[in-house]
Structure 1
Amino acid sequence: MVATYLFRIAQEAIANVIKHSGATKITVHLDYSFQHILLTIEDDGIGFNPKLTSSGFGLQFMKKRAEETNGSLNLKSGNCGTGLQVNIRVSE
């Protein structure tokens, strides 16, 4: 389930970058161990104000999927792009 949810979050994030950001570069990075998973997606697009668009379906979908894996989603955006991180603690 965690792998599927991470894939869906990445898929939605990349689709949003392609549709909205005008980015020329997207970086996807996955760090993992037995206790922790960190998915990071960054782009060099125009950015946006997450507070104004936090009610968007895509962002809600990604946040819900992260929470369903006992994780959290953090989003930072500015004039030089957007960064998304999903932190998941893997239970034993």
Structure 2
Amino acid sequence: GQPEQWDLHNSTTFQHPMVPYDVLIDPMSLPSHPLLLERESTLDIIHQDSARGNADDKTGISVSPQVTFPIKQAYIVDDEMIKAML
């Protein structure tokens, strides 16, 4: 979309787009990036943790750590206690 090569990670190379929007977002006008050159399917990305085969994980299922919340003690004041305080 720009007459000169631009870098996605270097803002000094950005220019005002003087082209139609469809040309600006055309994938062929994007610069190449090493991360984008790797071809991965959606299933590979979703299941990459189970495909790694961690030594700790024998079942292949990733388990989230258990989260515990502190329990607050309840203090109940009834009418009798209020009478005693007055």
TM-score with structure 1 setting the length: 0.19
The structure with higher relative contact order (CA 8 Å, sep 6+) is 1
Which structure's residues are more often strand, by fraction? 1
